[in-house]
């Protein structure tokens, strides 16, 4: 069911190279981790990866092909995702200092960050098209069901992404804990985080297909 070992190694190396270059999902994880700490960052990571897993399942089932074929569907999902990122930026900007900088302790709050991470990734059609374009390159029809191969490769990609995104989260939460203790720095962080969200939303609305 899996590709030959040399092909699999090439896939893992290519995936690692792509994952180490920060994209919108990584920027979301970094901002949440720096703002709210390690637990919040890991909750955001899990949300993003669940979204990626859904995209890999969609690619295996051919739903991404439908998204690619329908210009209207692509535009609807694209602008919905962009609007959601801008909304997160505005909400971060207008949040009170104690809300924006407080650590996350409750399960409900962690659940919200998990859900937001999943929505951010699900509403990024470029992520869907990335899986649709990238995973089939390593599929060998002679090995059996193509759908199963794509889904297995997607799972491997998500597992690898969990490791790399978790590392980004760990680093960002550590830096955030050291730098964001004063009220003045928390205010600067709030403006920076809000700016990143809005910039990601605008970039998602105007750019073409790119990595996750």
DSSP assignment of 54-75: HHHHHHHHTHHHHHHH-HHHHH
Q: Is residue 212 part of a domain?
A: no
CB atoms inside a 10 Å sphere around CB 101 = 20
Q: What is the pLDDT along the chain (212 residues), one digit of tens a residue?
A: 666 788 888 888 888 887 887 777 888 898 889 888 899 999 999 999 999 999 888 888 876 566 556 767 667 766 776 787 788 778 777 765 444 444 444 444 889 999 989 988 888 776 777 787 777 778 777 777 778 888 889 999 999 999 999 999 999 988 876 655 555 656 666 677 677 667 767 766 765 544 45
Q: Is the CB of residue 37 less than 8 Å from the CB of residue 103?
A: yes
- Residue 93 in any domain: the answer is yes
Q: What whole-number distance in Å separates Cα of residue 206 and Cα of residue 210?
A: 12
Residue 211 included in any domain: no
How many residues are present in the chain?
212
How many domains are contained in the chain? 1
What are the two backbone dihedrals, phi and then psi, of residue 189, each rounded to the nearest 5 degrees? -60, -40
- Give the domain range for residue 36: 5-206
* DSSP code, position 135: G
Q: Helices H, strands E: what count in the chain?
A: 10, 0
Of 60, 74, 45, nearest in space to 1 by CA: 60
Residue 153 placed within a domain: yes
Q: Is there a contact between 208 and 78 (Cβ–Cβ < 8 Å)? A: no
Asked if residue 131 belongs to a domain, the reply is yes
Q: What's the pLDDT at 160?
A: 95
What whole-number distance in Å separates Cα of residue 113 and Cα of residue 104? 10
Considering the domain boundaries, does residue 128 fall inside one? yes
Distance of CA 43 to the CA centre of its chain: 12
With respect to residue 108, please indicate whether it lies within any of the assigned structural domains: yes
Q: What is the pLDDT of residue 100?
A: 44
d(CA 52, CA 71): 22
Q: Where are the beta strands (DSSP E) in 75-196?
A: none
- The answer to whether residue 51 sits within a structural domain is yes
Q: What is the DSSP letter of 208?
A: -
Q: With H, G, I as helix, E, B as strand and everything else as coil, classify residue 192.
A: helix
């Amino acid at each position: 069911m899996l590709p030959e070992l040399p092909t699999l190694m090439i896939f893992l190396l290519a995936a690692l190279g792509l994952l180490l270059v920060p994209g919108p999902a990584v920027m979301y994880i970094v901002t949440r981790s720096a703002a709210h700490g390690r637990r919040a960052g890991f909750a955001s990571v899990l949300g993003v990866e669940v979204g990626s897993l859904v995209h890999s399942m969609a690619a295996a089932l051919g739903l991404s092909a439908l998204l690619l074929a329908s210009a209207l569907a692509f535009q609807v999902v694209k602008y919905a995702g962009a609007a959601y990122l801008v909304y997160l930026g505005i909400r971060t900007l207008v949040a009170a200092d104690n809300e924006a900088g407080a650590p996350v302790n409750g399960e409900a709050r962690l659940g919200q960050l998990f859900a937001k991470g999943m929505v951010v990734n699900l509403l990024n059609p470029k992520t869907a098209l990335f899986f649709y374009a990238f995973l089939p390159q390593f599929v060998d029809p002679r090995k059996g069901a193509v759908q199963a191969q794509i889904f297995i490769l997607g799972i491997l990609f998500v597992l690898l992404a969990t490791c790399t995104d978790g590392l980004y989260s760990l680093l960002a939460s550590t830096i955030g804990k050291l730098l964001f203790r004063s009220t003045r720095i928390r205010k600067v962080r709030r403006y920076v985080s809000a700016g990143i969200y809005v910039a990601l939303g605008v970039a998602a609305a105007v750019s073409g297909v790119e990595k996750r």
